[in-house]
């Protein structure tokens, strides 16, 4: 059986992660809040993918996608690299 690689990317932090009072009502907050994946969502997606596979290795790395200059949090993604058969 051939070894394969699956790469999954999840946004775990963006400008909505550290919000100020009243941000919840702004259009930029409403547009960005659903981009952040929860731990539960990530676990479900990864576990659903690997349930019928023979996993060789899983590596997780972070990548800073965007640096914010206004004292809010940076946009950070998790990159899952899964090697499997």
27-75, pLDDT tens digit by residue? Answer: 888 888 888 999 999 999 999 999 999 999 999 999 999 887 765 678 8
Torsional class of 65: left (φ above 0), alpha (ψ -120 to 50), beta (otherwise): alpha
33: closest CA among 13, 59, 47? 13
Question: The tokens 């058969």 sit on which residue?
Answer: 85
Residue 3: per-residue pLDDT: 96
Q: Which pTM was predicted?
A: 0.83
Separation of CA 63 from chain center: 10
């Amino acid at each position: 059986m051939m070894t394969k690689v699956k790469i999954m990317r999840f946004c775990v932090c963006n400008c909505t992660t550290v919000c100020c009072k009243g941000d919840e009502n702004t259009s930029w907050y409403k547009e960005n809040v659903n981009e952040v994946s929860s731990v539960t969502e990530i676990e479900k997606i990864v576990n659903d993918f690997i349930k019928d596979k023979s996993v060789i290795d899983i590596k997780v790395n972070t990548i800073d996608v965007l640096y914010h200059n206004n004292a809010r949090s940076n946009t950070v993604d998790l990159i899952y690299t899964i090697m499997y058969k």
